[in-house]
Amino acid sequence: MIVMEPIGVVRTEAVKVPRHWTVSDVEGRLVIEERYREGLRDIKPGQKIVVLFHFDKSPTFSPDMLVQTPPHRREEIGVFSICSPRRPNPIGLSIVGVLNVDGSVIHVRGIDMLDGTPILDIKPHVLKATD
């Protein structure tokens, strides 16, 4: 059993968010807890960052979710090949663009999370060194 605590929360005024960050221009804020502020100091405008978050609205995973038909596809696909929020460990991953950092609040573009989504981690957007 692995226990995690949110480091912050996603805030956005958007009521309807796009199905995926690859097709999102929605802006919002990553409101990180003040105690983690120093850890954000090298996040700069123009960067892309990886946000890991908790799909906190998702139902408990059950075997009927092992294959699912995504909304924009017409075929059933294995859960580990899609970005569905209904997965064994409900961790989401989005890559967003940093607009500005204000204290422990990161203004970003490319949100596909709902307002209030708990944030678990932020990582640099690293591309394969050999690319």
Could you tell me the smallest distance in angstroms from the CB atom of residue 113 to a second copy?
Answer: 15
Distance CA 75, CA 70 (A): 8
Which of 15, 129 has the CB closer to a second copy? Answer: 129
Site for a second copy, rule CB under 8 A: 1-7, 20, 22-23, 35-36, 38-43, 49-50, 52, 54, 56, 63, 66-67, 77-83, 87-89, 91, 93, 95, 118, 120-124, 126-130
In the chain, what is the greatest distance between 2 CA atoms, to the nearest angstrom? 45
Residue with tokens 């394969």: 128
Distance CA(34)–CA(93), nearest Å, equals 22
- Please, what is the end-to-end C-alpha distance for the chain in angstroms? 36
Question: Shortest distance, CB of residue 36 to a second copy, whole angstroms?
Answer: 6
Q: Whole-number minimum distance, CB 119 to a second copy, in Å? A: 9
Report the C-alpha dihedral over residues 21, 123, 92, 73, rounded to 10 degrees: 40
> Taking the complex as a whole, how short is the minimal distance between the CB of residue 14 and a second copy, in angstroms?
18
Number of Cβ within 10 Å of residue 120's Cβ equals 17
Q: Which is nearer to a second copy, 14 or 70 (CB)?
A: 70
Residue 28 or 101 with smaller CB distance to a second copy:
101
Cβ closer to a second copy: 15 or 127?
127
